[in-house]
Amino acid sequence: MLDPDNDQRSNRIALLEARLERRPAVGVMPIVAALALVIAGWVMWTQRADVSYFFSSREPVQLGVEGAYGFDQAATNQYAQLHGAPTIRGAYGIEGEQQFVVIGVQNTQLLVKRKALSTEEWKPGTTPPPPDQRSFTAAGRLLSREDAKRWDDAFIKHESFGELKPKWILLEGARPGGDFGAIGWFGLVVAFALVNAWLLVRGVGSRLSRR
């Protein structure tokens, strides 16, 4: 005589064994891979200007000298150079362990962010000294105010000084091909995106084939 309980038990065991033997389609669910891909895409979008500048021309655009400035060829996110005289006031700050000063260039709409000189020592909480008044040559990454949100405080301070109305900032010393940290990080994000794109395609294909 057949035992119904034994039959049900055997069926359950067989079902469990079949589930255990069945290999998972993917290690990551497609929805997770899709979300990771969106995040990676957003990060790459935010880093696009840094990557573009890394591969831009190493030959600086000449913005001119005192009395002969020319910003006709100026464009944001390019390597540029000029010679000029500083404004009498500057915006000081600390980046990491290094002190910097953002000065204006007389008779222009340009700010220059550079390392503070030995004559420009400043301690937080004290009145900053006037920038070194010697003329200078500066070369670096040129950014429009719209693309330099990080330096908004410097723009606002210089507007309050009343010596010029800045529309540009030059980050002295930032040369094309020099920021390997940024390009390395971008490469990691691209690799992460490619892996998740592969997982997404594989996961969707696996689920379609099982229907």
E strands, the chain, are 61-62, 64-65, 68-69, 78-84, 86-95, 98-105, 110-115, 136-144, 168-172
> Which pLDDT score, from 0 to 100, does residue 2 have?
46
- Whether residue 25 has pLDDT greater than 60: no
Residue 211 burial (CB count, 10 A): 4
pLDDT tens-digit map of 67-79: 899 998 899 999 9
- Calpha distance 159→162 (Å, rounded): 5
Distance CA 149, CA 189 (A): 23
pLDDT attached to residue 18: 60
Q: Rounded distance, CA 69 to CA 176, Å?
A: 23
pLDDT of 14 higher than 80: no
Query: What is the percentage of the chain residues whose pLDDT exceeds 90?
Result: 50
Residue 140 — pLDDT band, cuts 50, 70, 90? very high
**Lowest mean per-residue pLDDT among 11-25, 77-91, 106-120, 125-139:** 11-25
What pLDDT is attached to residue 12?
64
Q: What pLDDT shows up at residue 13? A: 63
Return the domain boundaries, the chain.
Answer: 28-55+177-211, 73-172
Which segments within 10-60 are labelled E, that is strand? none
Residue 3, pLDDT score? 53
pTM score: 0.77
Mean per-residue pLDDT over the chain, rounded:
85
Look at residue 88 in the predicted model and tell me its pLDDT: 95
**Higher pLDDT residue, 142 or 11?**
142
